Amino acid sequence: MARRKFSAPIQKLVDKAEAQKRRAPRHRAPADRHMARELVLFIQNTSGLSPFGPAGLGPNIARNLAVKMARGRYDRERAPAAWSYLVREAVKRYSREIAPVRADPATRELAATELARDFERRHKAGDWQ
């Protein structure tokens, strides 16, 4: 594939972006699976956070994603991003109510992914309409 040429200033930006892609990725700490599971259980057992609770952030996210599924616009890859807001709120609440905790980004991402997959399973089973 031939490489496209741009004007000099734009080519400099393109080259810089390509060089950044080639660099070695930054070291990212592995996710703490136990903390991620603890956060998911905390979310599911707290009525203000639970996706299947009466009110709060969790039901709003679940309702939004259910509408997307019904309309055929649900994106399985982007769903954890919606749940990440709930996980961030859960970390804050967990730190206030139980024990101070700092969940790294990989752990929060793992918890959000687990919530998204749980929602998909429950939606498919008919627990959420």
Average pLDDT (44-72) is 82
pLDDT band at 112 (very low <50, low <70, confident <90, very high): very high
Does residue 29 surpass a pLDDT of 80?
A: no
Does residue 117 surpass a pLDDT of 80?
A: yes
Average pLDDT (16-32) is 70
Does residue 66 surpass a pLDDT of 60?
A: yes
Q: Is 84 part of any domain?
A: yes
pLDDT for the residue 58: 78
Quote the number of domains for the chain. Answer: 1
Q: Domain limits at 48? A: 33-125
Q: Is 103 part of any domain?
A: yes
pLDDT for the residue 3: 63
Distance CA 111, CA 39 (A): 7
Distance CA 27, CA 80 (A): 22
Between CA 33 and CA 41, with CA 36 as vertex, the angle to 5 degrees is 125
Does residue 24 surpass a pLDDT of 70?
A: no
Q: Is 60 part of any domain?
A: yes
Q: Is 78 part of any domain?
A: yes
Average pLDDT (19-46) is 78
Question: Does pTM top 0.85 for this prediction?
Answer: no
Q: Is 16 part of any domain?
A: no
Does residue 59 surpass a pLDDT of 70?
A: yes
- The rounded mean pLDDT for the chain is 82
Q: Is 63 part of any domain?
A: yes
